[in-house]
Every structure is written in C-alpha cells, then in structure tokens.
Chain A
Amino acid sequence: MPPDGRVRVRFWGTRGSIPVAMTSAEVRRKLIAALMHAAGRTLDTPEKATAFLEREVDFAISHTFGGNSSCVQIAAGSNDFVLCDMGSGARVFGNDVLATRGPAGHTFHVFMSHLHWDHIMGFPFFVPAYSVANHVRIYGCHAGLEAAFRGQHAAPFFPVDFSGLSARIEFVRLQPGRDYEIAGLRVRAKLQRHGGDSYGYRFQKDERIVVYSTDAEHKQDDLAEVQGFVEFFRNADLVIFDSQYSLAEATSIKEDWGHSSNIVGLELCQRAHAKRLCLYHHEPLSDDERIGALLAETRRLEEITRGDRRVEILAAYDGMEIAL
C-alpha cells in the first residue's frame, strides 16, 4: 500500500497500436539540442547537469515519452497489483516486481480494455506468470478473453504454450455498467466504440476516481453517447484518454479507425468536471517533439476554453507516476 494512503497511477506502456523504439538519429538530435542549450555553461558535476536538464531543457529533449504499448498500474491500498492492459509495458512492470518485491507470492488483477495485439502482447514476457506461487486474475468483458491469451501462446506465435505457465491464471468475465469490488477498488466497465468493441474502466477508492479509457472513438454528434461518457468521467481525479489522432484526422481520413483526439478528451473532461486529463495511447508515428507539442497545444486549448474549473493536462510517458 502506498505509505501516504494516496492512489498512485504508474504508466508502464503509453504507446498506441505498436511499440516503438527511438532511433539512433533521434538520440543524436536530442543530444545536439541539449548541448546547444548548454552552450556557455559550466556543467561539471552530475548535479549541475541534472538540474540543468530538469529545469531548463524541454521534456521532449531531455527525456522520452517511451515506446511500450499499453499498460498502466493503479496502486490504491491493496498488496495485490492492479493493472490495465497487458501491452509490452507489462514486461517492464513484471521485471520491476521481480526486482523490488521478489519472484513469488503475488496476486495480479488485470483489467483488459480489449484484445487487440498491442494490448495483450506483453503477457508472454510477463515473468511472474511463470512462477507457481503467483496468481493472475484477468478481467474483461469480451467473450473471447481467454482464447485470445491462449492463442498468442500457441505455435507458431510463441514457443511456450499457455499450459506451460506455472502461475495460477484465471479469466473473469465482467458485465459493463455493473459495479464490482476488486482489490479494494470499486470498478465499473463501459462499452466503447472500437473495432471489435473496447471497454473503459472507472476505478474508485474512497473519494479518488481514476478512469482508464483507451482505444475509443467518440462520435461527438451522438449526444446520448457523449452524455454517457460525461457521466462515466464525472468528477474523476484522472482520466487516461486515447488521444492518438488529431481531431481533423479522427473526423476525416481516420474516421471509424477507433481512436480519439486530445480535443474530444478535453471537452469531455471539462463537461464532466474531471480534474486531470492524461493524453495516452500515443500515435506511433509521433516523435517526442510531436507529443510535446501536442501537450502544449492541449494546455493552450484548455486555457482559452476554460470555464470556472481548470483541467490539468498531462501527457503520459513510460515510467510516469501520478499521485492522487
């Protein structure tokens, strides 16, 4: 349990559609940009260099948003682990659990938005699933939940069959619109518009509310649908939102591709009185500079459209932690 009793959200994978890796050319561009910022300064200790990078260089130059696909951890007072999705970020999460909490004796509760490959691909590399003393409960609303996980372990896709996983693994089918109490959280799923359907999750711990809503397209002229999401996001402390496309893309050439935009996320959060919007499921074509610009633009849009409440805008990156 977090020692201060706050709900903590940690992002292990934030990229949409497919994992990406920074190229050598991108690393070089960052280094050149940082060195040019540093021209004329004396950065002769690690402390000075760190302070310089943190305070004076844009995040998009000094860091990276990362490239693992969807996986988010919610730590809210239980010794059990709670995750959303099993993208490639789940591999990093599993390794971190091994390093910090040991290899066995853990229970994992995993809430699946849907079963597309980028959301399940981390599971074969999720090392805790190979330990007999661990327990993995995988929740979802899709009928094919178990078959999808078993299928990606089958030949020729992976050398270890699902039956070779030693952990106790259960699949639990949830009904959207119904409240469940799981791992100390009240959880409710909501159907979303996406190829083959996806589901968002609203997690509540005491007064703290986190909404995980990825891989969802929103038809803004369907007023009933919009109002349904406003209620789903109502008073959330944090909304994690699929902002893969620009609004222009999402309403033109990429209409019906199943994703949304920063603009729609902001409007829903404003109407729902949500406190924070976290841009998530980043477009794989976007480099750090582009995602940084998207964040700045969304903050600017929030500023010029703000009513009597402010929505804090964040852009998720692999390794980011938010305390609520």
Chain B
Amino acid sequence: MDLMLKRYADTVVLTPMGRIDHSTSEDFKAALAPYMARCARGLDRILLDFVSVEYISSVGLRVLMLASKQAKGQGGSIGVASLQPAVREIFDITRFTMVLDVFPSVREGLARLSPPALAAFDAA
C-alpha cells in the first residue's frame, strides 16, 4: 500500500487509500513502519489522513493500535484525521475513538499535534 506523504514542519501527514482489511493490513503496516521509526520525541509526529479510506477492519485497527503504542513508547505522537462517515462509525463502535487521537480534519489534527506544523499548513 502506498502512502501519499506531505510534510508540514515536524509533522508527516500520510494518506492511505481504499480498504484496510485482512488482505491489505500487512501492506499498510509495512508502509507505515519506516515513518514509525522516526515518530519519537524530538523527531517526527505523524498524522494519518483517512479521507480516502473506505473501510477498516479489526486487523487494520490493530495496526493503528500497535502504531499508537509504539509512538507513545518512543515519546512520539500519532493521530488520525478526516474519517469518512462509515469509517467514523466503525471507530465509534469499536471504541477506538477512546484510545486513539481522532480529529475532524487534518488542520485540526495539526493544531493539536504541532503549532509549527499548523503554521506551515496554513502558509502552504
């Protein structure tokens, strides 16, 4: 799975696409891995822009959970933004909204994760 990348100051915005389920979750995990290695205190913050994600299954959510644990363990920050309505419902039903940082939009995610990234986003 290719992740479209945009950088705003110290924050990387990654955009996965399509379905994240049992047939694509390993690809998603592998695509995320190099960015996760740099998601640490004093390095990058990560915001996943889910605007193009149509569906995410339990195994995809588990990838997000593991990424969140890794980020916290490294002193880093990761969030998810711009969920489509159906994906938002999945997050609500699975209670993932209670364990991950979920934002209505990329801008609001950047505002919470990194003021310099927000400034770069607004200036772009």
Interface of B is mostly: helix
* Chain B residues within 8 Å of A267, by CB: 57-58
Give B41-72 as 1s and 0s: 1 = Cβ < 8 Å from A's Cβ atoms.
Answer: 00000000000000101110111010001000
Given contacts A221-B25, A261-B94, A301-B89, contact A252 B58 (CB under 8 A): no
The verdict on A304 contacting B89 (CB below 8 Å), with A247-B95, A252-B99 known, is yes
In the bound assembly, the distance between CA atoms of A1 and B88 in angstroms comes to: 47
Decide if A261 touches B89 in the complex (CB within 8 Å).
no
The secondary structure that dominates the A interface is helix
Of A264, A298, A304, which one neighbours B58 at CB under 8 angstroms? Answer: A264
CB-CB nearest in chain B for A298:
B93
Shortest beta-carbon distance, A256 to chain B, in Å?
13
**Judging by beta carbons under 8 Å apart, are A247 and B61 in contact?**
yes
Closest to A246 in B: B95
Question: Does B96 reach chain A (CB closer than 8 Å)?
Answer: yes
List CB contacts (< 8 Å) of A288-309 with chain B: 297-298, 300-301, 304-305
Cross-interface CB contact of A252 among B26, B65, B86, cutoff 8 Å: B65
- A298 CB contacts on chain B under 8 angstroms: 93
Chain B stretch 11-52: residues in CB contact (< 8 A) with chain A: 22, 25-26
Identify which of B22, B86, B94 contacts A247 (C-beta below 8 A): B94
Once the chains are docked, how many angstroms separate the CA of A304 from the CA of B95?
Answer: 17
Q: Are A247 and B89 in contact (CB under 8 A)?
A: no
B65 / chain A contacts, CB cutoff of 8 Å? 248, 251-252
Q: A251-B62, A267-B58 are in contact. Are A226 and B95 (CB under 8 A)?
A: no
Query: Given A247-B61, A305-B55, A220 and B22 touching (CB < 8 A)?
Result: yes
- Complex Cα distance, B29 from A220, in Å, reads 13
Assess A223 versus B22: contact at CB under 8 Å? Given A249-B95, A252-B99, A301-B90: yes
Contacts of A251 in B (CB 8 A): 58, 61-62, 65
Q: Contacts of B25 on A, CB cut-off 8 Å?
A: 221
- Which residues A232-252 have CB closer than 8 A to chain B? 246-249, 251-252
**What residue in chain B is nearest A226 (Cβ atoms)?**
B22
The distance in angstroms between the C-alpha atoms of A247 and B90, with both chains bound, is: 10
Cα(A249)–Cα(B63), bound, Å: 14
- CA distance in complex: A315, B61 (Å): 24
Contacting residues of chain A (241-291) with chain B, CB-CB under 8 angstroms: 246-249, 251-252, 261, 263-264, 267, 271
Contact B62 A221 (CB under 8 A): yes
B97: nearest chain-A partner, CB-CB: A248
Chain A positions within 8 Å of B89 at CB level: 300-301, 304
Q: A223-B22, A301-B93 are in contact. Are A248 and B98 (CB under 8 A)?
A: yes
A227 CA to B88 CA, complexed, in Å: 27
Interface hub of A223, A247, A263, A297 (most chain B Cβ within 10 A): A247
> Which residues of chain A have C-beta atoms less than 8 A from B26's C-beta?
221
Which of B57, B59, B90, B93 has the most chain A CB atoms closer than 10 A to its own CB? B93
Q: Report yes or no: B58 in contact with A261, Cβ–Cβ below 8 A.
A: yes
A247 contacts B59, C-beta separation under 8 Å = no
How distant is the Cα of A271 from the Cα of B22 in the complex, in angstroms?
11
The complex places the Cα of A226 from the Cα of B58 at a distance, in Å, of 12
Of chain B, the residue at the smallest CB distance from A223 is B22
**A248 contacts B99, C-beta separation under 8 Å:** yes
* Contacts A220-B59, A301-B89 supplied; 20 other A-B pairs, CB < 8 Å: A220-B22, A221-B59, A221-B62, A226-B59, A246-B94, A247-B94, A247-B96, A248-B95, A248-B99, A249-B95, A251-B62, A252-B65, A263-B93, A300-B89, A300-B93, A301-B90, A301-B93, A304-B86, A304-B89, A304-B90
Q: Would you give 9 A-B contacts (Cβ < 8 Å), ordered by A?
A: A221-B25, A226-B59, A248-B94, A248-B96, A248-B99, A249-B95, A301-B89, A304-B86, A304-B89
